[in-house]
Amino acid sequence: MPAPPVPDAVLVAARHALDEVPGLPEHRRTTFHARLARWWPDLHAALVDLHGDAAEVVAARLVAVAARGFAERPDDLHALDEQRLLRPDWIQQPDRFGYACYADRFAGDLPGLERRLDHLEDLGVTYLHLMPLLQPREGDNDGGYAVADYRAVRPDLGDLDDLRALATGLRARGISLVVDLVLNHVAREHAWAVAARAGGAEGETYRGYFHVFDDRGGPSGPDAYERTLPEVFPDFAPGSFTYDADLDGWVWTTFNSWQWDLDWSNPDVLAEFADLVLFLANLGVEVLRLDAIAFLWKRLGTSCQNQPEVHAITQALRAVARLAAPATLFKAEAIVGPRDLVGYLGTGPHTGKVCDLAYHNSLMVQVWSMLAAGDTVLARHALSALPAAPSTGTWITYVRCHDDIGWAIDDGDAAAAGLGGWEHRRFLSDYYAGLFPGSPAEGLVFQENPATGDRRISGTAASLTGLGRRRLDPEGGVARVLLAHAVVAGWGGVPVVWSGDELALPNDPHWADEPGHERDNRWAHRPRVTDEVAARRHETGSEAARVFDGIAHLARVRAALPELHAAASVHVLPDTDARVLGVVRRHASGVMVGLYNVSREHRPVAWRHLQEAGLRTPYDALAGEQLTPDADGLLWLAPYAARWVVERQVVEGQAGG
């Protein structure tokens, strides 16, 4: 089907916007128009889904935003755009390896990151996610997720020039900067919310940016919505609506009462965020983490998550980014059930048109489930049941992040593995809270909800594996932390290490001491990496050194394995030993079989699994050795061992690796 032509009104809007920037060379205009012809169908289709007959009017606005952003984009970033367009799979290369941290907790401030570059480079980092750094509200701000001004940096971290300099400096070292864009809500102190409260004609306009209800009742008021809305923070922010006296109404607040949900059905909101995307992209941010994206569209009678319009919104924003700053990628932060997850990478008409990256929440949950149970049967079912992701989509794989772990285990998957979903979720929270007999974990229960039985867990990787303050199983802990990282680094996609986990840091016992943190125990697993703490990795034989070096080894081996390209198809072997996870990755550059023993025993793997995958001369890239079966046709895995097996023939006398 031929692509629809770009309507004249849209072309005129583009021309006018480009004219506003004096001295724009002719070749730049040509480029913009070529991109417009290329991405117009994506933009148009998304806007028809969202705005029907008004699609073209909204499109003209967004294209004008894109044209301005394009014209203002610095030359070095235009050059980056060209490079990335020539290599669209840059993010899928096996040398992409991530780290996520709070700039202040890891390095003091943005300029301070300079001093920590050796730490990152030694770890193999090429992708750096800095937690929210834009100006938040004062006081409690949900770790920066309540933004008061998207065009300013948190003053104690630096300013916009520091951010630009950091992005440029990191890029020169091959590290992409990743920053949050909070889409679902703004702080109640944000100018839009302030204007809405001020009333008057302008107030009316800004009231329309939010979901405001005059009263709670009626067929489509807060009470009606709450019948099907899950609570995100039942402990400290029950309900999803907050009364505001100035508004004389109830405003939608999914998270905390001071985080006001935006009304994304309002084209003004879409246009504002299109502009913010390009503002951040033009500072040199390469990946935008779209925070809480699942919640953007509200529909009565549903959980108001994962609505189809969310994907249309993402497609529209991405088309704008492609027009102006195609080097920029989008990452979905959608911590949703396994069946809804793949939609964020694009399925059906959105294939390849929404987010480039999405968190593999299911894999994270299954890693913890396998380690607790010492068994892989549930993980096999769950991971096999995931619909295939498009080959252009890339998972962010991770062991821990700044958030709690919610036990997103599907009842159907549990049943297929002979488990009760509720019972298994209960087992996992008991196990990681250290309440299950024999558990070495020292996690904290986060947001227990008696109504649903939901009981999430906070804790660093070290504290969840036996390396906590009580040191319930330090040896096992080191092995489990490294195995968990091997599973996620060997899955494919961009593995992201959560700050402090590479140093085996336990929970921060003083987490509640900081003002505003006292009720949010997620701060326990957001420890500060002081100079003294960071130096521990140099103490030979220390747990910090063993974990750091182990993770750095994974990054190094990965970077040299073309088989780990993220576009591979991945499937889990259904019939290995129950304590072994076998992951087969097929890519044009070769096959890789990841083998992971999740138990404290030696376990066998049938050699035929490797042969059936097509490996004739199997070689373990992690250990750097050629593999051979024993007399019974078995390969034995040591407790918590990981092997990344590829096809290689080591020539006698030459070292592997």
Query: Site residues (CB under 6 A) for ligand GLC?
Result: 142-143, 145, 182, 255, 291-292, 333, 402-403
Please give the Cα distance from 292 to 335 (Å, whole number). Answer: 8
DSSP-assigned states of every residue in 183-211? -SEEETTSHHHHHHHH-HHHHHHHHTTB-
If the CB atoms of residues 373 and 401 are measured against ligand GLC, the closer one turns out to be 401
Q: Residue 214 is which amino acid?
A: D
Quote the least distance from Cβ 488 to ligand GLC, whole Å.
Answer: 18
Active-site pick, 42, 291, 356, 413: 291
Residues 6+ apart with CB under 8 A from 34: none
Sign of CA dihedral 478, 483, 561, 97: negative
Count of alpha carbons within 13 angstroms of residue 94, beta-carbon side: 20
Give residue 249's Cα distance to chain centre. 34
Please give the Cα distance from 303 to 240 (Å, whole number). Answer: 11
Could you give the residue ranges of the DSSP H alpha helices within 179-307? 191-198, 200-207, 222-226, 267-283
What DSSP designation does 262 have? B
In DSSP terms, 329 is beta-bridged to 287
If the CB atoms of residues 94 and 144 are measured against ligand GLC, the closer one turns out to be 144
Please give the Cα distance from 26 to 427 (Å, whole number). Answer: 64
State yes or no: is 514 an active-site residue.
no
Active-site pick, 244, 286, 333, 430: 333
Give residue 372's Cα distance to chain centre. 24
If the CB atoms of residues 81 and 291 are measured against ligand GLC, the closer one turns out to be 291
What DSSP designation does 299 have? -
Query: Which residue, 311, 385, 387, 323, is CA-closest to 349?
Result: 311
Q: Residue 575 is which amino acid?
A: D
Query: Which residue, 71, 76, 1, 10, is CA-closest to 37?
Result: 10
If the CB atoms of residues 14 and 293 are measured against ligand GLC, the closer one turns out to be 293
Neighbours of 126 (CB within 10 A): 21
Quote the least distance from Cβ 145 to ligand GLC, whole Å.
Answer: 3
Which residue lies nearest ligand GLC, judged by its C-beta?
A: 145
Report helix, strand or coil for 11: helix
Quote the least distance from Cβ 400 to ligand GLC, whole Å.
Answer: 12
If the CB atoms of residues 255 and 596 are measured against ligand GLC, the closer one turns out to be 255
State yes or no: is 630 an active-site residue.
no
Query: Which residue, 524, 490, 482, is CA-closest to 506?
Result: 524
| Ramachandran angles phi, psi of 128, nearest 5° | -120, 115
Report helix, strand or coil for 364: helix
Quote the least distance from Cβ 404 to ligand GLC, whole Å.
Answer: 9
What DSSP designation does 230 have? P
Q: Angle between the 267-283 and 308-324 helix axes, to the nearest 10 degrees?
A: 40
Quote the least distance from Cβ 402 to ligand GLC, whole Å.
Answer: 6
If the CB atoms of residues 45 and 445 are measured against ligand GLC, the closer one turns out to be 445
If the CB atoms of residues 333 and 620 are measured against ligand GLC, the closer one turns out to be 333
Quote the least distance from Cβ 251 to ligand GLC, whole Å.
Answer: 16
Quote the least distance from Cβ 508 to ligand GLC, whole Å.
Answer: 16
Please give the Cα distance from 559 to 399 (Å, whole number). Answer: 19
Quote the least distance from Cβ 567 to ligand GLC, whole Å.
Answer: 27
Which residues are tagged catalytic? 291, 333
